[in-house]
Amino acid sequence: MESDDFRDLIEACGKMLDENVNMLSDIEFEINSEKEDVVKPMMTKNELVDMAHDVAESVRIKKAESSFVRRHFENSL
């Protein structure tokens, strides 16, 4: 009987540790994300134009990927 109680206690501790590790990972991710979200106060026009080009290129790539996946599934049917 004591071994079952001990086993249950160990399992409960393991679950608590898993939950805490997940919470700490989430907190770490949020902290790192906040660091990346900091806006540079004095951006030049060239930097803004480069950023706009990067965003546009990213959108084109995502559209191309979704079109590729759609065509791939249509052809496989």
- Give pLDDT tens digits for 49-60: 998 999 999 999
Distance CA 10, CA 17 (A): 10
Residue predicted with more confidence, 69 or 76: 69
Q: Taking CA 59 as the corner, what is the angle to CA 36 and CA 65, rounded to the nearest 5 degrees?
A: 115
Give the CB-side neighbour count of residue 2, counting CA atoms within 13 A. 0
**Structure token pair of residue 4:** 């079952």
For 9-46, write each residue's pLDDT tens digit.
888 888 888 888 888 888 888 888 877 666 667 778 88
Distances (CA, A) of 74 to 48, 61, 71: 39, 20, 5
Residue 43 has phi, psi (to 5 degrees) of -85, 140
Length of the chain: 77
